[in-house]
Structure 1
């Protein structure tokens, strides 16, 4: 028996390793040639201290309180030299991947389809050679065929699948947009590198509010697919905002999910004042009291920089401090910028 451990480094790189029954995370990492920080490896120095964000494990009693205090242990801190998992885990490592002598791993994929759900959005489907592990919300960099250019896109597919999908803004003259619109063919070989990113779904322990702007819907589709598979006991509400009516995509999928799962609800809004959409304006206008749960809510936000700035400013103006607030900014031709507040 073995467990899958996601090592999420502070530079956003994630490596997935197999940890055998009875094996410590530190030993498993070294077996995978990942040099996690360590000094004594005996639970004495605290050099290997990390944070377990998800999963079950045993720390035993063979470590000193100087290395890990009771308060730190209660907050989810672990010593990887003592941590023996009893389930799959997500471990945040307070060091860059390069310092641990590891890096994002490239893998190959084959184009199976390119759709245009709207004039402003493209949907890319890729068949990987084997199931791709990632945390729902993370992204990969895809090399554009015929160039040295790389573009970063969040998965919209379910983690652990060989069938990968991505929502991509159709940018006139864009490097990836030009390839997908003009030259892409079924069977094309692509090189993807990842997964990466600190924007991903944490364990759902309280109501969740998801705020998506444009193709920032993609990571939420991955999150929702995982929740639908695993089950969810907390309400999850998504507000999906776009600039124009034509930018709304995947609404049928959201409607089907809302009809099937009582824990999920959603609303769409369009910023264009000339729109006929029943909800005009911005997502901040539709962040109603029930969805905010008096601040006892985990907020996830993915959209262009002006949207992220507007939402973070709205929370400050309202004096609302969510239990946790995770966001990702993205812009055309740029890697996502990710941060966690609270």
Structure 2
């Protein structure tokens, strides 16, 4: 029985390969022409050292100089020796170009466009055969009739029959204007991806999700994934927006709360004039118990100012999360400048 391996490169490009029974990560990659770092193939040099972020594997045989016991305990492995025992997500310490691969390109049809509010639009595309992605990742979508691209996170879960996205409606925005004025079902759309190092890792401790505006999209994808896999850890989402009109997707969150026993969420509106019961910024609505004394994985997606404010707030609380994954985005910037993840 084979297993899927998601190779995530330093530049955010992700390629999926199928490992045959008994095949190593390196063998599966090279069979498809993806030349991940490799020298000896004998577990002696350490050149192919990578981090397995999710899944089970047999680490194989190697010498201490190539991989120490401490490194192995932290999830590092040698690609020339490690054999998957389940689907894996593997961080490769090299760029996709250096490994002689690149993002995949697809052309699909536009399924639907839905105005969610005066400031937000949702749209969906046909899902191309063979596309796989990690929940939280994004694609670079070409604006029809131009050579300009915009990056949008999936709001749909992997495996769905349609790819869904959530977009802020910017009055003079290139994609917003096209969606608002020219988009028709069946229109040809071209994108490359998946990309991004902001994605849901293996869930081994409580999760705290923090979303700002259309930064809700990747969390909808993550929650869709958790519906399929189940989750025995507490998951709490704090979703903050600027104005009442920006608060969309609440019905989807309520549906996930009904389907995932361990999931809860709260919404926050920053505008003073709002009648929302919770006002202010996201950080004012994080309860101490949701930080679990630092034994928590924090995921944050929002504008740069929000990301910086949350990092400063965590420091002021004297809390260092077990892991902190974030993605900063700028809604109207070109795709190559829209996202910064860590």
Q: What is the TM-score with the length of structure 2 in the denominator?
A: 0.97
Question: Aligned partners of 1:168 and 1:281: how far apart in 2?
Answer: 23
Match of residue 340 from structure 2: 338
Alpha-carbon distance between aligned partners in 1 of 2:256 and 2:84, rounded to the nearest angstrom: 33
Query: Where does the alignment leave 5 or more consecutive residues of structure 2 unmatched?
Result: none
1:264-306 deviation digits (Å, cap 9, x = unpaired): 0000010000100000101000011111111111100000111
Distance in 2 (CA, whole Å) between partners of 1:256 and 1:50 is 37
**Aligned counterpart, 1:34:** 34
CA distance in 2, matches of 1:73, 1:244: 47
CA positional deviation for 1:260: 3.1
Alpha-carbon distance in structure 2 between the residues aligned to 1:23 and 1:261 = 35
Q: Does the CA contact (< 8 Å) of 2:170 and 2:332 recur in 1?
A: no
Q: Which residue of 1 aligns with 2:122?
A: 123
Deviation at 1:58, TM superposition (A): 1.1
Aligned residues of 1:209 and 1:238 also touching (Cα < 8 A): yes
1:1-342 → structure 2 map (5 Å cutoff): 1-61=1-61, 63-334=62-333, 335=335, 336-340=338-342
SS in 2 for 1:199: coil
Once residues 211 and 272 of structure 2 are traced to their aligned partners in structure 1, the CA distance between those partners, rounded to angstroms, is 19
Deviation at 1:131, TM superposition (A): 4.7
**For 1:306, what is the secondary structure of its paired residue?**
helix
Distance, in Å, in 2 between the alignment partners of 1:241 and 1:86 is 39
1:315 and 1:129 mapped to 2: Cα distance?
40
Cα distance in 2 for residues equivalent to 1:159 and 1:60: 30
1:76-120, Cα deviation, whole Å (9 max, x unpaired): 111111111111000100011110011111012210100011110
CA distance in structure 2 between the partners assigned to 1:162 and 1:108 by the alignment: 15
Cα drift, residue 28 of structure 1: 0.7
Distance 2:260 2:92 in 1: 35
Q: What does the per-residue CA deviation read over 1:53-82, in whole Å, with 9 as the maximum and x for residues that have no partner?
A: 111111222x21111111111111111111
User: Per-residue deviation at 1:256?
Assistant: 2.1
User: Contact between 1:104 and 1:194, CA under 8 Å: does it hold in 2?
Assistant: yes
Distance in 1, matches of 2:253 and 2:193, equals 27
CA contact (8 A) 2:26 2:79 kept: yes
- Larger mean Cα displacement after TM superposition, 248-257 or 264-273: 248-257
> 2:231·2:260 contact (CA, 8 Å) conserved in 1?
no
Q: CA deviation at 1:192?
A: 1.0
1:246-270 CA distance string (max 9 Å, x none): 1110101111222332200000010
Question: Over residues 174-215 of structure 1, what are the superposed CA-to-partner deviations in whole Å (9 max), with x where a residue is unaligned?
Answer: 110011000010001111100000101111111110000000
SS of equivalent to 2:47: coil
Q: Deviations for 1:297-326, whole angstroms, at most 9, x for unmatched residues? A: 110000011111111111112221111111
How many matched pairs?
339
TM (norm. structure 1) is 0.97
C-alpha distance in 2 between matches for 1:198 and 1:156: 16
Per-residue Cα deviation, 1:9-39 (whole angstroms, up to 9, x for no partner): 0111100001100111111101111001011
Q: Is the 8 A contact 1:132 1:161 kept in 2?
A: no
